[in-house]
Amino acid sequence: MSQFDPQAFLDVSMEEALEKREVLPVGDYTAIIGEVSARAWTGKKDPTKSGIAWDLPLTIDIPAELQASLGLASTLTLKDSIMLDLTDGGTIDTSKGKNGRLRMYREALDMNKPGEGFSARRMQGQVLTVKIGHEIYQDAPVERITGVAKA
């Protein structure tokens, strides 16, 4: 049994300033999918809309030249989310044109074959290529996963 008390961090005093890191340049990177988690969501603008999303932590391999020039570690974890299209019965909608982001991940992982079983947990530990783009948030660029492909 651990004696760790997260409440103790409420009283931690820091004198060091926290610094923002440089964003990764737009481009393709190798990544490993971590433990996929599911969450329920409710729309912020329209609270009558709700659904299920899968969150995927992606450990991005940072090339040596970027590690040196940007002062980064060898890996960086970013999160991507798949907002699931559901049927009226509450199951994942597999009809044509639905769940495009999920389809992209499954194709990148060679897990989108008819008749072969698939579950979100099977994605954990899989390697793929991610395309990183930038989105402006509060007047500053932020990395976003804009696409995925086979490694």
Q: Is the pLDDT of residue 1 over 90?
A: no
Mean pLDDT for the stretch of residues 44-61: 95
For 100, the token pair is 């495009």
Instruction: List the helix and strand counts (H, then E) for the chain.
Output: 2, 6
The predicted structure's pLDDT at residue 66: 95
**pLDDT tens digits, 126-137:** 999 999 999 999
On whether the CB atoms of residues 87 and 99 are closer than 8 A, the answer is: no
Q: What is the pTM of this model?
A: 0.87
Average pLDDT, the chain: 95
**pLDDT tens digits, 105-124:** 999 999 999 999 999 999 99
d(CA 24, CA 144): 10
Residue ranges per structural domain of the chain:
6-150
In Å, how far are 30, 116, 140, 147 from 62, measured between CA atoms? 8, 33, 21, 17
The kind and range of the H/E element at 67 are helix 64-70
On whether the CB atoms of residues 124 and 13 are closer than 8 A, the answer is: no
Q: Is the pLDDT of residue 147 over 80?
A: yes
Q: Band of the pLDDT at 2, cuts 50, 70, 90? A: low
